[in-house]
A and B are shown apart, each in its own frame.
Chain A
Amino acid sequence: MHEIITACLVFVVLGGLLGILLAIAARFFTSEKPEKLEAILSLLPGANCGGCGYSGCAALAQAIATGEAKPNTCPTNSNDKNTAISLLLGCQSAEKTIRYRAQILCSGTHEMAKKKYMYEGIDDCNAAIGLAGGDKLCPNGCIGLGSCARACPFQAIDVVNGIAAVNYEKCRACGMCVDTCPKHIIALIPYDAVFWVGCNSQDKGSVTKSYCQTGCIGCKLCEKKCPAKAITVQGAYASIQYDLCTGCGICAQVCPRKIIWSAHSQKDRGIYSDGHDRLPAQGNSTPNHG
């Protein structure tokens, strides 16, 4: 018993002395710089997604504090918070950042796209790619094994019926899915864009038609009908230039393949998704993109 008490006492005294020593040392060695860093760090989302190109929120905070990165570098932060960061650094206000969202440019669900074979392997798109470029005949089709969903730090992607779908509200456009997708079919488009082309087939129309019931055939109808000249058919598929798009929806109406999709759009909520990111296009959607 006596020994236990001695041991405890010695360690209490030892720990106490060292603690006091460290507390005194901390007084001498603290600098003011970290407080600013902490403040910036607290205004960042803290998801450490890496979308900014730095190794995490702490590294970005450091870069912002030293002036290496702009206050609005974080692609996932809200405008208010980015403004708060720039005010903290003594700037007037940050440039307004456009919010983006990820969009999977494929509509080849199980019913729509033909397959080469039945894939029964590891649940990972990169693994499936190793087997003749994936199970879908379309060389640019979504593999649908959810590598992007696993890469997403915000759990914004689900695989629905063989293709990935983005939950817009959760998506912070960090770009991790874009880098992960082995088919490179995920794009970042403006958050409030209502219409998008759900295909990026590089093949000729006839070839696309042979393996996908819905893929873009490059007929250029949308390009001709678009009043804002926002759609161009480059190569084999249509793409929308969002700085020109007015969201009128004519392209979606004329598309014979129904491959131009529309997002849920409501005046008060803006663009949203209910877990499934695409609706059959409706021409009368509210023009939402200014």
Chain B
Amino acid sequence: MNVASLLLLAFTAIVVENFIFSQFYGICPFLGVSNKPSTAFGMGMAVTCVITLSSFLTWLLYHHILDPLGISYLSTIAFIVVIAALVQLIEMFLKKYVPVLYEALGIYLPLITTNCAVLGSALINIQNGYNLMASVVFGFSSALGFTMAMLIFAGVRERLVFADPPKSFEGLPILLVSAGLVAMAFAGFSGVNIG
């Protein structure tokens, strides 16, 4: 793959097939920690680290161990093990060096393990037959798209605090409605066909 196609892949992953707004992966942290841009950004960075590293490791794991040994049917479990270990690593790192962020992310930090965006990107890499470089680029840019979505929505949520919705829409309902509206905006990219 040349540079141009890698860039196209990155653009597709960030905007056209945004994990949150068009694939609906990783909705849990998206709704859980998007209440402040700073925590949303922290979450985005943590997810970016995990996805990029896991894309790299799971590609190696699949193509050099699982596939040659004929146990590729176990890839989901193996990937989860790798992801869980990475999340644990990130958690220890944050606890020591950025305790404020560690507190702010709370339960959503260990929950990155079960975030389908992370496992999703690892499995998509294999499914689409990307090479190692493309896998890492795809993982990294999907995570950037995830971070961008988190930040955009954190901005929306800051405005939502001042909104005065009908009583039955207060709290989560209005949040889901606004998330749907932002996702509709992203649907505008779906016609962009890069090939």
Contacts and interface: CB of A to CB of B under 8 A. Distances in A.
A7 B81 CA distance: 14
A119 interface: no
A118 interface: no
Contact of B85 (A7, A11, A22, A34): A22
A11 B81 contact: yes
Nearest to A17: B85
Contacts of B65: 10, 14
B69 interface: yes
B178 interface: no
B71 A18 contact: no
B92 A26 contact: yes
Contacts of B74: 7, 10-11
Contact of A11 (B78, B95, B96): B78
A15 interface: yes
Contacts of B95: 29, 31, 34
A26 B81 CA distance: 18
A10 B81 contact: no
A14 B78 contact: yes
B96 A31 contact: yes
A10 B85 contact: no
Interface of B: 61, 65-66, 69-71, 74, 77-78, 81-82, 85, 88-89, 92-93, 95-96, 99
18 contacts: A3-B71, A6-B70, A6-B71, A10-B69, A10-B71, A10-B74, A11-B81, A14-B61, A14-B65, A14-B81, A18-B85, A21-B85, A22-B92, A25-B92, A25-B93, A29-B93, A30-B92, A30-B96
